[in-house]
Protein backbone atom coordinates (compact mmCIF):
# COMPACT_ATOMS: atom_id res chain seq x y z
CA UNK A 1 0.00 0.00 0.00
CA UNK A 2 1.19 3.52 -0.81
CA UNK A 3 0.47 6.62 1.21
CA UNK A 4 1.52 10.25 0.73
CA UNK A 5 2.57 12.51 3.60
CA UNK A 6 3.21 16.24 3.84
CA UNK A 7 6.77 17.19 4.74
CA UNK A 8 8.64 20.35 5.63
CA UNK A 9 12.22 20.64 4.41
CA UNK A 10 14.35 23.61 3.34
CA UNK A 11 16.39 22.36 0.38
CA UNK A 12 16.49 19.70 -2.33
CA UNK A 13 19.66 18.15 -0.88
CA UNK A 14 17.95 17.70 2.49
CA UNK A 15 14.93 16.19 0.74
CA UNK A 16 17.24 13.66 -0.92
CA UNK A 17 18.70 12.77 2.49
CA UNK A 18 15.17 12.26 3.82
CA UNK A 19 14.32 9.98 0.91
CA UNK A 20 17.43 7.87 1.50
CA UNK A 21 16.65 7.61 5.23
CA UNK A 22 13.06 6.57 4.52
CA UNK A 23 14.16 3.92 2.01
CA UNK A 24 16.47 2.36 4.61
CA UNK A 25 13.71 2.03 7.21
CA UNK A 26 12.42 -1.47 7.95
CA UNK A 27 8.91 -1.93 6.59
CA UNK A 28 9.38 0.49 3.68
CA UNK A 29 9.26 -1.11 0.23
CA UNK A 30 9.97 2.20 -1.53
CA UNK A 31 9.94 5.93 -0.82
CA UNK A 32 9.96 9.07 -2.92
CA UNK A 33 10.35 12.67 -1.73
CA UNK A 34 9.24 15.48 -4.02
CA UNK A 35 10.86 18.73 -2.87
CA UNK A 36 8.74 20.89 -5.18
CA UNK A 37 5.43 19.68 -3.74
CA UNK A 38 6.79 18.94 -0.23
CA UNK A 39 5.36 15.42 -0.30
CA UNK A 40 6.75 12.02 0.64
CA UNK A 41 5.18 8.92 -0.88
CA UNK A 42 5.86 5.70 0.98
CA UNK A 43 5.04 2.18 -0.18
CA UNK A 44 4.93 -0.19 2.76
CA UNK A 45 5.88 -3.85 2.94
CA UNK A 46 2.76 -5.97 2.80
CA UNK A 47 2.66 -6.98 6.47
CA UNK A 48 4.06 -3.74 7.94
CA UNK A 49 2.39 -1.72 10.69
CA UNK A 50 2.14 1.61 8.84
CA UNK A 51 1.96 3.77 11.97
CA UNK A 52 5.02 2.16 13.54
CA UNK A 53 6.93 2.32 10.25
CA UNK A 54 6.14 6.02 9.82
CA UNK A 55 7.27 6.80 13.36
CA UNK A 56 10.57 5.11 12.46
CA UNK A 57 10.75 6.98 9.14
CA UNK A 58 10.24 10.29 10.93
CA UNK A 59 12.93 9.44 13.49
CA UNK A 60 15.39 8.38 10.77
CA UNK A 61 14.72 11.53 8.73
CA UNK A 62 15.38 13.74 11.75
CA UNK A 63 18.71 11.96 12.27
CA UNK A 64 19.95 13.07 8.86
CA UNK A 65 18.21 16.47 8.80
CA UNK A 66 17.18 17.87 12.18
CA UNK A 67 15.10 20.71 10.75
CA UNK A 68 12.84 18.50 8.65
CA UNK A 69 9.33 17.37 9.50
CA UNK A 70 7.16 14.49 8.34
CA UNK A 71 3.51 15.04 9.20
CA UNK A 72 2.04 11.66 10.12
pLDDT digits (tens, 9 = 90+) for 1-46: 999 999 999 999 999 999 999 999 999 999 999 999 999 999 999 9
> What pLDDT score was predicted for residue 49?
97
Contact between 65 and 4 (Cβ < 8 Å): no
Helix 12-23 vs helix 50-64: crossing angle, to nearest 10: 140
> If residue 9 lies in a helix (H) or strand (E), which one and from where to where?
none
* Domains in the chain with CATH codes: 2-71 (3.30.70.100)
Average pLDDT of the residues in 47-53:
96
**pLDDT bracket for residue 57 (50, 70, 90):** very high
Give the integer Cα–Cα distance in Å for 27 and 34.
20
Contact between 49 and 67 (Cβ < 8 Å): no
pTM: 0.93
Amino acid sequence: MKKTYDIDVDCANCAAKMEDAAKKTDGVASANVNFMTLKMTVEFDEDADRDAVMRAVRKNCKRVERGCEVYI
